[in-house]
């Protein structure tokens, strides 16, 4: 009888995991997508779209669909979803595995300024020049609206949600990006400072290399902590091993 694995997805790692599970004997995989992206990349296996309605709704779904294991492979900054997954796993007794790509680490020549949140990133910006490359995603830009003397170049996969800073230019693009392209973007827009979340991964890391080569400061929003008692696995192979399906 197949073991049913629910993957809370939306990341490249979630798609890789779903693909790996879909070809494993004895595995049935369902990936849940929040539905915030209009045209998501569809993973292998079964797919459901939309939220669960909080902890109670997720717990009911785990029970009602006879889920044997829950994998949280959401974005490292999806703090609410991760907390709900941990709580639902506890109340149902369904084993939980959190898949998180490793975060970025500064290297020689990097001028990084770590901060704990988007409001803290906004508070740090007056120390730098007025032109800001903002790559923190399409949500949470309200933290920067009071900075009317800054010019923001905002990049996201889909149009950001208002309110936006008064002086904002939006670039719609999806990674991966090359160092050459990122350097051209930073120079062409006369960027003084880069703001990013510590999302990790290679798809959007080129901007950090470009900033280093151009001598630009980078304000890095640190990841929220995992819930108490929860640890993360850094890759698909680790998740498969934890679930008892071997390695990738």
Instruction: Dump pLDDT digits (tens) for 137-159.
Output: 888 999 999 999 999 999 998 89
Contact 125, 149 (CB under 8 A): no
CA dist 11 and 16 (Å) reads: 9
What whole-number percentage of the chain has pLDDT above 90? Answer: 88
CA dist 217 and 165 (Å) reads: 21
C-alpha distances (whole Å) from 142 to each of 13, 70, 84, 218 are 29, 33, 25, 20
- pLDDT level of residue 202 (50, 70, 90 thresholds): confident
Contact 73, 7 (CB under 8 A): yes
Q: Any idea what the Cα angle at residue 192 is, between residues 191 and 198, rounded to 5°?
A: 90
The confidence score (pLDDT) of residue 203 equals: 84
* Three-class SS state of 167: coil
The confidence score (pLDDT) of residue 248 equals: 58
pLDDT at 1 over 80: no
The confidence score (pLDDT) of residue 246 equals: 77
φ, ψ of residue 190 in degrees (nearest 5): 55, 45
Contact 154, 131 (CB under 8 A): no
The confidence score (pLDDT) of residue 157 equals: 87
What stretches of the chain show up as alpha helix (H) in DSSP?
Answer: 12-22, 54-64, 79-92, 118-124, 179-188, 206-214, 236-243
pLDDT at 112 over 70: yes
The confidence score (pLDDT) of residue 151 equals: 98
The confidence score (pLDDT) of residue 215 equals: 98
CA dist 105 and 136 (Å) reads: 17
The confidence score (pLDDT) of residue 18 equals: 97
- pLDDT level of residue 247 (50, 70, 90 thresholds): low
Q: What is the mean pLDDT of residues 61-83?
A: 96
Burial grade of 111 (CB within 10 A; 0-12, 13-18, 19 or more): middle
Cβ atoms within 10 Å, residue 53: 11
Which range among 29-38, 107-116, 166-175 shows the weakest confidence by mean pLDDT?
29-38
CA dist 139 and 156 (Å) reads: 9
> Which residues fall within 8 angstroms of residue 122, CB to CB, at 6 or more apart?
143, 144, 146, 147
The confidence score (pLDDT) of residue 37 equals: 60
Mean pLDDT of the chain: 94
How big is the chain, counted in residues? 248
Q: What is the mean pLDDT of residues 19-36?
A: 92
Q: Sheet of 218-221: strands edge to edge?
A: 112-115, 218-221, 193-197, 131-135, 151-156, 168-172
């Amino acid at each position: 009888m197949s073991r049913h694995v629910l993957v809370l997805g939306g990341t490249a790692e979630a798609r890789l995991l779903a693909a790996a599970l879909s070809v494993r004997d004895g595995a049935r995989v369902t990936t849940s997508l929040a539905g915030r992206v209009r045209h998501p990349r569809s993973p292998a296996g079964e797919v459901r779209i939309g939220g669960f309605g909080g902890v109670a709704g997720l717990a009911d779904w785990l029970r009602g669909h006879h889920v044997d294991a829950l994998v949280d492979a959401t974005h490292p900054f999806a703090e609410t979803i991760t907390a709900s997954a941990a709580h639902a796993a506890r109340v149902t007794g369904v084993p939980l595995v959190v898949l998180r790509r490793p975060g970025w680490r500064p290297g020689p020549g990097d001028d990084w300024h770590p901060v704990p949140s988007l409001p803290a990133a906004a508070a740090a910006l007056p120390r730098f020049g007025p032109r800001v490359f903002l790559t923190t995603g399409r949500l949470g830009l309200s933290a920067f609206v009071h900075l009317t003397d800054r010019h923001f170049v905002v990049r996201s996969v889909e149009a950001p949600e208002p309110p936006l800073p008064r002086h904002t230019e939006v670039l719609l693009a999806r990674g991966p990006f090359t160092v050459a392209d990122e350097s051209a973007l930073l120079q062409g827009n006369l960027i003084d400072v880069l703001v990013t979340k510590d999302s990790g991964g290679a798809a959007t890391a080129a901007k950090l290399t470009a900033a280093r080569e151009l001598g630009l400061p980078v304000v890095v929003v640190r990841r929220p902590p995992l819930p108490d008692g929860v640890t993360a696995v850094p890759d698909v192979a680790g998740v498969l091993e934890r679930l008892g399906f071997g390695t990738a």
